Structure 1
Amino acid sequence: MRDSDTVGAEPVRILLVEDNPGDVRLTEEAFKQGRIENDMYVVSDGNEALDFLTQRGEYADMPQPDLVLLDLNLPGKDGEEVLEELKADPALRSIPIIILTSSQAEEDIATSYELHANAYLTKPVDPDEFIETVRAFEKFWFSVVRLPPGVDSQ
C-alpha cells in the first residue's frame, strides 16, 4: 500500500472511466478534498479505457493505474465489456476495478461481481452524498485495503 503519511510516497494513480462531465467534476472534487495524494486520469468511453490500460495509441506513455473507477453505462464498449476484458488479461487482472455507477439493478450488481469487480458503488443523485460516497471509498481503499504492487510499463 502506498501510505500518504510516508515522506516521499508516490501518489496513488487512479483511472476514472466516466462519460458524464458532472460526475467527473464531483469525483475529482471529492478526491481533492481527501487526504490521499493521487494522480487522476480520466477517459470517457470503454475503448479509451482499454487503450489506456494496455498503453496503446495516444496512451502509450501513460502509467499503469493502481485502481480503476469504472462506470457501467459508457459509449462504445460498456463497463461490463471493459471489466470482462481486463479481468481476462493476466497482465491487468490484479488492478482493482471498482464499479461506480448509477445503476442499482440487481442484475448489474451480480454480473459485475461474476466478472470479478472488486467492489460495486452506486452513485447517489445528491451531489453532497456523491462526494461523501467517494470520500468513504477513498478512506477505505487507501487507508485500510492493501493494493497490489504497482505494475510499471516495460
Structure 2
Amino acid sequence: MRVFLADDSALIRERVAAMLDASAVNIVGQAETPQGSIDGILSAQPDVVVLDTQLQGGTGLQVLRAVRQAAPRIAFVIFSNNSGPAYRKRYLGEGAERFLDKNTEFDQLTQAVVKASQHATQ
C-alpha cells in the first residue's frame, strides 16, 4: 500500500511515517504546503493520502478538491487537530474516507488507512 503524507508539521509526518512503516506501508511522499501536496500526490499516485486540514500557506481542502478532481480513485484520510463537526462534515462531504482527531484517535490511523486503501481499489 502506497501512502502520501500531507501535514504542515515535520514532527507529525515523521511520527505517522514511523507508525505506518511498522505496518508494511510504503510512504511515497510528504509535503507541508497545498501545492507541494497536490504536485507530490499527482506525481506519486498513492493509494491513500493522510491529510491535515491546516497546511503551510493554505488548507487541506484545497488539496482534497484538486486531487479528487484529477485522480478520483485516490483515497483520503483526514488527520487533524481541527476536528469539530463543521470540519468533519465539510471534508467527508468532499469525498474523504475518514476523519480522525490527532488528539484522541491517533491509534486508529493505521486501520483507517488500510480500510481507505481497500475502498480505493474496489
Same fold (TM over 0.5): yes
Question: Does residue 15 of the first structure (1) align with residue 10 of the second (2)?
Answer: no
Aligned-partner SS, 1:51: helix
Aligned residues: 121
Relative to structure 1, the CA distance from residue 80 to residue 143 in structure 2 (aligned partners, 3 Å threshold; closer, same or farther) is closer
Change in Cα spacing, 1:48 to 1:143, as seen in structure 2 (3 Å) is closer
Q: Which structure 1 residue ranges, 4+ long, deviate > 4 Å from structure 2?
A: none
Larger Rg: 1
Pairing of 1:76-87 with structure 2 (within 5 A)? 76-87=57-68
Give RMSD over aligned pairs.
2.3
Q: Counterparts of 1:17-36 in structure 2 under 5 Å?
A: 17-32=6-21, 34-36=22-24
Q: Distance in 1 between matches of 2:111 and 2:29?
A: 19
Give the structure-1-normalised TM-score: 0.68
Find 1:116's aligned residue among 95, 98, 104.
95
What is the correspondence of 1:97-136 to structure 2 with a 5 Å cutoff?
Answer: 97-124=76-103, 130=106, 133=107, 136=108
Q: Which has the higher strand share?
A: 2
Residue identity over aligned pairs, in percent, reads: 19
Q: Does 1:138 align with 2:119?
A: no
Counterpart Cα distance in 1 of 2:112 and 2:93:
22
SS at match of 1:93: coil
TM-score of the superposition, structure 2-length normalised? 0.84
